[in-house]
Structures are given as C-alpha cells and as structure tokens.
C-alpha cells in the first residue's frame, strides 16, 4: 500500500499540463491515511487524504493501481478522459498502471436503490440513471476516432471466441446438460442459432452508430450525487454500437449481478429514457428504423455471452453472483436471462428464443423451484 501511495504522489507532482492541479505553490502534495476500498483481484483501489493542497482543492482522491497489464489501465484512462459524467482524471503513471482521480465520496448507487425499501426513489433513480447513461455515451460520439486510436494499445477482446463458447454452453443446456456428439436435429439447431448470431455482426462494425462506452454500466457502478449520476469503473471502456448501451436498459443491466424480475413498465421506461439521452447527441442513430431491432439483437448477444461466462458457476450452483443479502444465485440469474430471451426475441431471433426457452425449462426441471426468480426488493 505504501508503494502505491508513493507512486500516486509522484504522478500528481508530474501531472500533465491541463490536468486539475493538486500540487500547491509551496511544495509537493502529500497523500496520507490510505483506506483500501476493496477493488478486485485485478486492481487495488485506495482513498487517500490530500495534505498540503491549496485552499479549495479536494480533501481526498482515489488511487487505482492495476495489478496486471491486460489493457484495463489504458481503457480506464480513455474512459475517464473521453466520457462525460465520470470522475476527473488527475494524474496517471503508465509504467506502473496507476491513476489518480477525483473522489466522488460515499454516495448511493443505483443498486442500493433497487434493493432498498423506497419504491419511488428506485423508480426515479432508474429513470434518471437511464437518461444519464444515454447522455454520457452519446456525448462521447465526437471522440470515437480518438478513442479508437488510444485503445489500439489495449489488449483486444476476442468476442468471437466468447460467443462460440456461449453457443456451446447454451446448446449444452438445451440438450439437458449433455455436451456429447450431435445428431442431425442438434446440428440443424446449432446452424440456425449461429445464423441468427451472424445476422448481428453489423453491430460489431457500428460506423456512425459508434459511441465510447464504459461497457460495464451496472447499477453498482453508478453513484447519485447532488449534480446527478456519475459512472465508475471504466476499465472495460470500448468503442461499441449504441445499441449495446441501450440493451442495458431493455434486459435490464446486461452483465450485472443485480438481476431480478423487473416490475411492469420498468424496462420500457428505461429504454425510452436511454434512447432519449442518446438522441440529444445522436438523433440519427435512434431515428434509424432498425434501432429497436438492433437493441434486441444486442440483448441476444449479451445473453449468449453471459451464458458462456457464467456457465461453470451456474452448473456448480454457486449461491451469490454479487453481495450477500442483495444478489440472486447464479442459477436464478441464468434462468431469468433465458426466460427473457425466450419471451422477447421470438419475433426477431426465433431459433435463439427457442433455445433460451428450452434451456430455462431444463434448468427448472433439473434444479427445481429454488431457481425461480424474484422481483427487485424496492418493487415487491
């Protein structure tokens, strides 16, 4: 921890011109009283007190040091620089994969509201979160070329490999958990599923629909302050089709642990607000007649990816995807996702919808009523 604090102090002292300054005229700033905020296996995150800063400077800052060189440092700095509605990037140390950013303080997250007890606060929080997310990603549109250039230094994500794995696991569930040799019927089904996924490839080359997105815009990665929502944890920042952003409203929360059955009208409202926020900067994108179809296709891609990512933990019956007392089990999450796909993708992607429905039926038969999903606590 002391080494990280020393590196952060040095980075602040050498902050590039134009960065908000913390270094006082009287000497170098000191960071003291570091508090470990948890981070993950990939990073160390500290809150440090700022001693010796000029009047009006922040009292604390956040220091984040990435523990592996997998491109997360590059992605986070790009997100902090180019996406509005995020913390301010104060300094960085590329050699040690370290950044210093503004501290937004102890603020409620959207997850706090959704699993809390205040229905009105949860509904209004979700509504304003969706509009803010649309504005944040839409507001990055003019910086797409710069983001692509800078992200060239980050390790690329092999989306094709993850999608293939997701298809394999989905069809394994359809076959009753059996990944053995395929007969003609199974081969035909695989071909139909793969053909529908191939029809979504245009989303991977978004053209004018491209935005810079944090990508991991889960409810616990957004905090609500006096001036509205701010988005955290940008280590997955990428250039993507705006439909992938909108999918976070329709599913909702595509890659998050905070997955429960939404109340009637919630996802329609989230998608409408997200689309309206995007329209402030990208009206041509959301006015495209194919917009709604593209959003559902993006949801299908996420469902296949999540099936692959979470398969082992789901089959093993791991109890919690997220924090204890606030999170569904892996099996509950997957059944909820498969049911959503079965109900909402029938018109656009019938083969995938049928596969999701059969997977959910197998899960209920295999694991019983314990995998039945429940609603968000705030809306029960």
DSSP state letters, 179-210: -S---HHHHHHHHHHHHHHHTTGGGGS-GGGE
Are residues 89 and 121 both part of a single domain? no
Round to whole Å and give the CA distance between 251 and 311: 19
pTM value is 0.91
For residue range 144-188, what is the model confidence (pLDDT) as tens digits? 999 999 999 888 889 999 999 999 999 999 988 766 667 778 899
Cross-strand pairs, 44: 65
Are residues 288 and 334 both part of a single domain? yes
Q: Provide the 10 A C-beta neighbour count for residue 361.
A: 17
Are residues 211 and 360 both part of a single domain? yes
For residue range 242-265, what is the model confidence (pLDDT) as tens digits? 999 999 999 999 999 999 999 999
Are residues 67 and 139 both part of a single domain? no
Round to whole Å and give the CA distance between 277 and 120: 21
What pLDDT was estimated at residue 220? Answer: 93
- Weakly modelled stretches of the chain, pLDDT under 50: 25-26
- Structurally, how many domains does the chain consist of? 2
Quick check: bond before 252 cis, omega within 30? yes
Are residues 272 and 296 both part of a single domain? yes
Round to whole Å and give the CA distance between 142 and 131: 19
Round to whole Å and give the CA distance between 141 and 366: 46
- Nearest alpha-carbon partner for 298 in 356, 345, 355, 234: 345
- Nearest alpha-carbon partner for 302 in 154, 203, 181, 224: 203
Are residues 321 and 246 both part of a single domain? yes
Round to whole Å and give the CA distance between 68 and 6: 19
Q: Of the candidates 102, 121, 152, which is a domain's last residue?
A: 102
Q: In CATH, what number is assigned to the domain containing residue 302?
A: 3.90.1200
Q: Tokens for 222?
A: 């957004």
Lookup result for tokens 């298809």: 167
DSSP state of 376: -
What pLDDT was estimated at residue 256? Answer: 92
Q: How far is CA 323 from CA 112, 233, 236, 329, in A?
A: 11, 17, 21, 10
Q: Of the candidates 102, 133, 153, which is a domain's last residue?
A: 102
Sheet with 60-66, strands from edge to edge, namely 30-36, 43-51, 60-66, 98-102, 89-93
Q: Of the candidates 102, 119, 152, which is a domain's last residue?
A: 102
Are residues 305 and 218 both part of a single domain? yes
If you write DSSP's letter for every residue of 216-278 in order, what string do you get? ---GGGEEEETTEEEE---TT-EEEEHHHHHHHHHTTSTT-S---BPPTTHHHHHHHHHHHHH
Do 140 and 211 touch, CB atoms closer than 8 A?
Answer: yes
What pLDDT was estimated at residue 374? Answer: 87
Q: Tokens for 241?
A: 């089709």
Are residues 305 and 165 both part of a single domain? yes
What pLDDT was estimated at residue 19? Answer: 53
Cross-strand pairs, 365: none
Round to whole Å and give the CA distance between 375 and 265: 13
Are residues 13 and 155 both part of a single domain? no
Domain that holds residue 237: 110-379
Are residues 71 and 128 both part of a single domain? no
Q: Tokens for 212?
A: 């810079």
Round to whole Å and give the CA distance between 74 and 54: 30
Are residues 256 and 281 both part of a single domain? yes
What pLDDT was estimated at residue 347? Answer: 94
Do 7 and 96 touch, CB atoms closer than 8 A?
Answer: yes
Round to whole Å and give the CA distance between 228 and 125: 10
- Nearest alpha-carbon partner for 352 in 311, 308, 300, 310: 300
Are residues 272 and 233 both part of a single domain? yes
Q: How far is CA 336 from CA 125, 133, 357, in A?
A: 23, 24, 11
Looking from the CA of 325 toward its CB, the CA atoms found within 13 Å total 2
């Amino acid at each position: 921890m002391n080494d990280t604090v020393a590196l952060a102090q040095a980075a602040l002292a050498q902050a590039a011109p134009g960065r908000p300054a913390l270094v006082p005229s009287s000497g170098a700033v000191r960071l003291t009283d570091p508090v470990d905020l948890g981070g993950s296996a990939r990073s160390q995150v500290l809150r440090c007190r700022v001693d010796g800063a000029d009047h009006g400077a922040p009292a604390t800052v956040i220091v984040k040091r990435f523990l592996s060189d997998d491109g997360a440092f590059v992605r986070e700095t790009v997100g902090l620089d180019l996406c509005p509605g995020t913390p301010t990037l104060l300094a960085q140390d590329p050699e040690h994969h370290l950044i210093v950013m503004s501290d937004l303080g102890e603020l409620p997250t959207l997850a706090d509201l959704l699993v809390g007890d205040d229905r009105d606060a949860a509904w209004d929080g979700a509504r304003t979160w969706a509009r803010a997310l649309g504005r944040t990603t839409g507001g990055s549109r003019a910086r797409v070329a710069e983001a692509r250039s800078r992200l060239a230094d980050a390790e690329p994500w092999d989306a094709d490999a993850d999608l293939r794995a997701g298809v394999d696991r989905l069809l394994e569930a359809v076959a009753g958990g059996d990944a053995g040799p395929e007969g003609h019927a199974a081969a035909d089904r695989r071909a139909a599923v793969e053909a529908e996924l191939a029809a979504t490839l245009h989303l991977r080359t978004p053209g004018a629909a491209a935005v810079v997105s944090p990508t991991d815009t889960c409810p616990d990665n957004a905090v609500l302050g006096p001036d509205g929502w701010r988005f955290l944890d940008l280590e997955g920042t990428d250039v993507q089709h705006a439909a992938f952003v909108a999918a976070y409203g329709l599913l909702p929360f595509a890659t998050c642990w905070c997955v429960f059955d939404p109340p009637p009208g919630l996802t329609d409202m989230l998608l409408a607000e997200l689309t309206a926020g995007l329209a402030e900067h990208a009206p041509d994108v959301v006015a495209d007649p194919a917009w709604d179809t593209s959003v559902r296709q993006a949801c299908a891609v996420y469902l296949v990816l999540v099936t692959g990512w979470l398969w082992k933990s789901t089959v093993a019956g791991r109890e919690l995807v997220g924090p204890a007392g606030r999170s569904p089990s892996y099996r509950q999450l997957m059944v909820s996702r498969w049911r959503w796909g079965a109900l909402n993708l029938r018109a656009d992607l019938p083969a995938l919808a049928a596969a999701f429905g059969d997977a959910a039926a197998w899960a209920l038969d295999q694991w019983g009523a314990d995998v039945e999903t429940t609603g968000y606590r705030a809306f029960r």
